């Protein structure tokens, strides 16, 4: 059912220094679009200084019908955390290089099409996850991809080409860790090339790490890629880009609601959470927060 009258007062959260678009022109486009449809629109600019606390304070002071994250994965995760366990829905206008969660939700990657969510939408109530005490709406991982994301984050060049270049460089010298995982269902221990805590399905690079897993099923998956010989790499890569994660002899998934992840011999480990690298003390506790975030999705998508 289309929504025309429910969303009257909208907030758009932007990072003024990210991306390569003209923010003033972009704000003008949003303002014109919303005013033409009888919406009141306001803008909130992040500063990089306690953004979560400041945004949460602003949302307590001013009531909105929806809050849109206009940016990349970091901005989306920030706004999602601010809205979690509340009644105000999240909208997304994808402006980043990855835009992983918006892709999993079926949100158009074209700005004009994404803005239609202010006018036509349905609401999905999705799960979120806490990873070592930190919020995650999408994907978090340890191992190879976390290392690549950290190096990518340090660089000045964005886009898939830079990511592939860094991944190729790091692959040549990467040494897998051994992990001990205890979930509410099972225990697993062994070496892994990569370990992903997946609330969703797809990385922004279009790698499908957790196919056919709904965002609102009350559980998450731990997706493991075992160490593999160089000759197996093309086949694994093919499977990841064609939703064939489970077809490989080197992959497995653990479905659970809670998990403890340890790295024997280490007290701290590198993790990337929704595209942001950080170091977390081990063991890392992971827990689902079921149906905790309201998200606006297109009417014609299942919003996995």
Element housing 142 (H / E): strand 139-143
* Nearest Cα to Cα of residue 8 among 88, 86, 83, 69: 88
pLDDT higher than threshold 50 for residue 265: yes
Looking at domain 9-120, its CATH class is alpha beta
How much is the mean pLDDT over the chain? 90
Residue-wise pLDDT for 114-132, tens only, equals 999 998 999 999 999 999 9
The count of other CB atoms within 10 Å of the CB of residue 152 is 23
CATH fold of 134-290: Tumour Suppressor Smad4 (2.60.200)
User: pLDDT tens across 160-196, in order?
Assistant: 667 677 777 878 889 999 999 999 999 999 999 999 9
Mention every residue, 6+ apart, whose C-beta is less than 8 A from residue 288.
127, 128, 129, 199, 218, 219, 220, 257, 258
Instruction: Work out the percent of the chain whose per-residue pLDDT is above 90.
Output: 72
Model pLDDT for residues 235-255, shown as the tens digit of each residue: 999 999 999 999 999 999 999
Pair of tokens at residue 174: 């990467």
For 238-244, the CB contacts below 8 A with 24+ separation are 240/207, 240/208, 240/209, 241/206, 241/207, 241/208, 242/208, 243/208, 243/211, 243/212, 244/211
Report which of 300, 299, 290, 296 is spatially closest to residue 101, judged by C-alpha positions. 296
Mean pLDDT of 69-73: 90
Q: Which helix (H) or strand (E) holds 152?
A: helix 144-154
Q: What is the pTM of this model?
A: 0.90
Q: What is the pLDDT of residues 19-67, one digit of tens each?
A: 556 677 889 999 999 899 888 999 999 998 999 999 999 999 999 999 9
Show me where the domains of the chain are located: 9-120, 134-290
């Amino acid at each position: 059912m289309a929504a025309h009258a429910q969303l009257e007062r909208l907030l758009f959260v932007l990072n003024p220094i990210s991306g390569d678009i003209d923010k003033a022109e972009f704000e003008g486009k949003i303002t014109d679009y919303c005013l033409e449809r009888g919406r009141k629109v306001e803008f909130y600019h992040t500063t990089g200084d306690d953004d979560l606390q400041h945004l949460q304070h602003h949302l307590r002071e001013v009531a909105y019908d929806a809050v849109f994250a206009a940016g990349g994965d970091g901005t989306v995760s920030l706004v999602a955390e601010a809205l979690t366990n509340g009644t105000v829905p999240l909208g997304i206008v994808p402006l980043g290089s990855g835009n992983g969660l918006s892709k999993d939700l079926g949100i158009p990657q074209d700005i004009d099409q994404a803005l239609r969510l202010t006018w036509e939408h349905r609401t999905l109530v999705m799960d979120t996850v806490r990873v070592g005490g930190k919020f995650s709406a999408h994907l978090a991982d340890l191992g190879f991809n976390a290392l690549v994301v950290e190096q990518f984050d340090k660089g000045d060049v964005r886009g898939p080409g830079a990511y592939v270049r860094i991944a190729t460089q790091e692959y040549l010298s990467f040494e897998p860790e051994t992990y001990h995982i205890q979930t509410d269902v099972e225990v697993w221990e062994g070496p892994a090339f990569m370990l992903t805590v997946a609330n969703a399905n797809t990385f922004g690079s279009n790698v499908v790490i957790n196919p056919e897993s709904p965002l609102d099923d009350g559980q998450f998956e731990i997706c493991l890629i075992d160490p593999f010989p160089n000759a197996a790499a093309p086949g694994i890569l093919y499977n990841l880009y064609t939703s064939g994660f489970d077809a490989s002899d080197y992959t497995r998934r653990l479905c659970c609601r809670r998990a403890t992840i340890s790295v024997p011999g280490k007290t701290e480990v590198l993790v990337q959470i929704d595209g942001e690298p950080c170091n977390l003390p081990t063991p890392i506790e992971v827990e689902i927060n079921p149906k905790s975030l309201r998200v606006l999705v297109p009417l014609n998508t299942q919003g996995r």
